[in-house]
Amino acid sequence: MRNSFTPRLVAGILIAALLCLGAAVYSGATGGSAFMTRALGAVLTPVQQGVSWVSGRVDSVIGYFTAYEALEAENEALRQQVADLEQQLRDSDTALEENERLRELVDIAQRNRDFEYDLAEVISRNPGEWSSVLSIDKGEGAGIETGDLVITAEGMVGYISAVGANYSEVTTVLDPEMQAGALLTRTRETAIAEGDYSLLGEGRLRLSYLSKDADVVIGDTVETSGRGGVFPKGIMIGTVESILVEEDGMSNYAVIRPFVDVETVTHVFIIKDFTITE
């Protein structure tokens, strides 16, 4: 609605008020106060009403902004509460994951009481066409040494190939540089588990030097043999997916799918020491 209080009207009202005020003064001096009081009231009543209307509008605007500020403060408080709850949920998830890793460590330790372990987090990975290497957040300061075996509760991840002050590099089971004495869990047939350039992109490794008449079938599990004392015995490596003939035709090899997905693993255990068994 258009505001009726134009500048000209306001000026007219002020002039009329001044004239009435002057008349009132004059009337007081001459004794005609009743008439002038009525006249002054008639003129000033619309002014008072206008002032009351303006005052009401001002109060309404002030109330609106006050309510808006209160609503903003309430929204900010609610946003902070949501952020706090989300952080608590993240902390809870982290605690649950940590508890799960500790349970895994306890389980591994109970199954292998002669192992000395340390827990580490994967901080980077460098998969490529020619290598498969992880970096973890433990190094010389934690007593990590080259050659230490790296595992999860599922099985072998790889071994420590380089050590820094507070980090280490892990050559994974897929890397062509990796070799480990291995055996078939079911038959105890011995062989060598090793990375292979042609299988690296498929996330697979090979079990080499199987005899032509080796009793091996698809689905057989493969574990470390402990041969030579480099790695502890009985760490699971993977399962046989296929059996093929070597190029020379003199022996077979098997393609192995590792138990641990090195592309997604986030936490690992390092076997820092163990008792050699035959």
For 59-72, write each residue's pLDDT tens digit. 666 777 777 778 88
Identity at 64, one-letter amino acid code? Y
**Residue range 235-262: mean pLDDT, rounded:** 92
Confidence class of residue 133 from pLDDT cuts 50, 70 and 90? Answer: very high
Same domain for 127 and 15: no
Burial code of 226-242, b = ≥16 C-beta within 10 A, e = fewer?
beeeebbbebbbbbbee
Strands (E), 142-266: 149-151, 156-163, 168-172, 179-184, 190-194, 205-210, 221-224, 236-245, 252-258
Identify whether residues 266 and 196 lie together within a single domain: yes
User: Which pLDDT score is estimated for 90?
Assistant: 74
Q: Does residue 132 sit in the same domain as residue 15?
A: no
Residue 38: predicted pLDDT: 61
**How far is residue 216's CA from residue 209's CA, in Å, rounded to a whole number?**
12
10 — pLDDT class (breaks 50, 70, 90): low
* Count: domains in the chain: 2
Report the alpha-carbon distance of residue 194 to residue 232 in Å, rounded. 16
In contact, 187 and 216? CB cutoff 8 Å: yes
Tell me whether residue 21 is in a domain.
Answer: yes
| Model confidence pLDDT, tens digit, residues 202-244 | 999 999 999 888 899 999 999 999 887 789 999 999 999 999 9
The predicted structure's pLDDT at residue 132: 93
Q: What is the pLDDT of residue 162?
A: 96
Question: Is 87 contained in some domain?
Answer: no
Say if residue 131 is in the same domain as residue 41.
no
The pLDDT of residue 99 is 63
Do 135 and 45 belong to one domain?
A: no
**Claim to verify: residue 37 and residue 141 sit in the same structural domain:** no
In angstroms, what is the C-alpha Rg of the chain? Answer: 43
Q: Which domain holds residue 26?
A: 7-66
Task: State whether 153 and 223 are in the same domain.
Answer: yes
- The reply to whether 250 and 158 lie within a common domain is yes
Assigned token pair, 271: 């076997």
What is the average pLDDT score of the chain?
80
pLDDT of 1 reads: 47
Do 132 and 243 lie in a common domain? yes
Q: Is residue 74 part of a domain?
A: no
Query: What is the predicted pLDDT for the residue at 70?
Result: 82
Residue-level pLDDT at 42: 60
Per-residue pLDDT tens digits for 168-191 = 999 999 999 999 999 999 999 999
Q: Note whether 42 and 151 are same-domain residues.
A: no
Q: Cα–Cα distance between 158 and 150 in angstroms, integer? A: 5
pTM of the full predicted structure? Answer: 0.63
User: Are residues 241 and 199 in contact, defined by beta-carbon separation less than 8 angstroms?
Assistant: no
Q: Which two tokens stand for residue 236?
A: 């699971």
Residues 127 and 225 both lie in one domain: yes
Tens-place pLDDT, residues 31-56 = 545 555 565 556 556 656 655 665 66
The CATH number given to whatever domain includes residue 239 is 2.40.10.340
Answer whether residue 23 is part of any domain: yes
Domain annotation covers residue 93: no
Considering the domain architecture, whether residues 59 and 138 belong to the same structural domain is answered as no
Q: How far is CA 52 from CA 46, 57, 184, in A?
A: 10, 9, 97
Q: Contact at 8 Å (CB) between 154 and 170? A: no
